[in-house]
Amino acid sequence: MAVTAVVNQKGGVGKTTVVLGLAAASAARGRTVLVVDLDPQANATTGMGVWNPASTIADALDTDAVGSIRAVVEPAGWPEGDGPIPHVAPSSARLAQSEHQMATDLIGAQDRLASALDGVAAEYDDVYIDCPPSLGLLTVNALFASDSVLIVAEPSAWSLDGVQQILRNVRRIAERRDGRPGVVGIVVSRLARTRDASYWHGQLSETYPELVLEPPVRLRAAVTEAAAQSVPVGSLTRDGAAAAALEFDALSRSVAPDAAAATPAASPTGGDGAPSSEPDVVELSPAGDH
């Protein structure tokens, strides 16, 4: 089991798309998945085909009960695929009010989500938290509840500043949590075939060579169409759908490696930067320079 927070303080960079792509790819690999929709805009919820849920993540966060998320989880409305249907803890606009209420909790403002997931996360192979577009209390709750962080970055001006700010916050929390969460990587998302996009992709890779994951997620009409239909992109037959699904499969294998591949004995070693088959979570040391 691993809990991964998918983070960027900017909206529209592709966080929800990456969460949905990872959920579908993990499930296709036979893994059980829980998506926690922590954005009041509820795009992951509707993207998973869940409309007007009976109860939501706001209800789970409002109560103080350990494991409270279990009562709000439901299966995605996705068509039957190869693997188990992912589950979702749905969101709604009311989550914005819960965030304000949480802020008045003097004792547990930061770890309400960790407590809600306690004992439930372990029932899944992969838990992905889709964060809202801010570094506010909801995202802080996601960081306190997660083992690792996946940063989604658009290849554009200012994205380097945004990544630096996220890494600073992650480091501050990791200092209080024995090194957790680590950073599993930066996925470059919505990569267009323009000179500008490849320039900023290059800048991100040069600045964070140990963190930028390959391949990036390219900008494709198939991805937009899948979102509009609330289905995984791999279930479409149109141009680009299979290629997009392959990108998410590769990303899923970096973020959540198969158990066998995680055995250190099976991994090539050496200081030459050869790819290791170990789950590659970078712990941010307090002395780190980014």
Ligand X SMILES: Nc1ncnc2c1ncn2[C@@H]1O[C@H](COP(=O)(O)OP(=O)(O)O)[C@@H](O)[C@H]1O
Nearest distance from C-beta of residue 131 to ligand X, angstroms: 8
Decide: is 17 part of the binding site for ligand X (CB under 6 A): yes
Window of 14-22, 60-68, 157-165, 168-176 that interacts with Mg ion by CB under 5 A: 14-22
**Which positions from 254 through 283 interact with ligand X, judged by CB under 6 A?**
none
DSSP annotation string for 13-50: SSHHHHHHHHHHHHHHTT--EEEEE--TT-HHHHHTT-
Decide: is 133 part of the binding site for ligand X (CB under 6 A): yes
For the stretch 77-105, what's the b/e string if a residue is b when 16 or more beta carbons lie within 10 angstroms of its beta carbon? Answer: ebeeeebbbbbbbbbbeebeebbeebeee
Nearest distance from C-beta of residue 96 to Mg ion, angstroms: 14
Cα–Cα distance for residue pair 182/81, rounded to 1 Å:
31
User: Tokens 């004992």 identify what position?
Assistant: 119
Q: Which two tokens stand for residue 136?
A: 């506010």
Nearest distance from C-beta of residue 203 to ligand X, angstroms: 19
Contact pattern for ligand X over residues 184 through 203, marking x by CB under 6 A: -----xx-------------
**Which positions from 40 through 79 interact with ligand X, judged by CB under 6 A?**
43
Q: Which does 159 bind (CB under 5 to 8 A by kind): ligand X, Mg ion, none?
A: none
Nearest distance from C-beta of residue 110 to Mg ion, angstroms: 22
Decide: is 16 part of the binding site for Mg ion (CB under 5 A): yes
Candidates 223, 231, 251, 281; binder of ligand X (CB under 6 A) is 223
> Which residues, listed in sequence order, are joined to residue 148 by a DSSP beta bridge?
4, 182
Nearer Cβ to ligand X (46/276):
46
Candidates 14, 90, 155, 185; binder of ligand X (CB under 6 A) is 14
Which residue's Cβ lies closest to Mg ion? Answer: 16
Cα–Cα distance for residue pair 219/187, rounded to 1 Å:
13
Nearest distance from C-beta of residue 47 to ligand X, angstroms: 8
Decide: is 215 part of the binding site for ligand X (CB under 6 A): no
For the stretch 38-56, what's the b/e string if a residue is b when 16 or more beta carbons lie within 10 angstroms of its beta carbon? Answer: bbbbbbbbbbbbbeebeeb
Cα–Cα distance for residue pair 40/259, rounded to 1 Å:
34
Kindly list the distances between the CA atom of residue 133 and the CA atoms of 4, 38, 61, 97, 111, in Å, as whole numbers in the listed order: 16, 10, 19, 16, 19
Per CB under 6 A, residues contacting ligand X are 8, 11-17, 43, 133, 189-190, 217-220, 223-224, 227
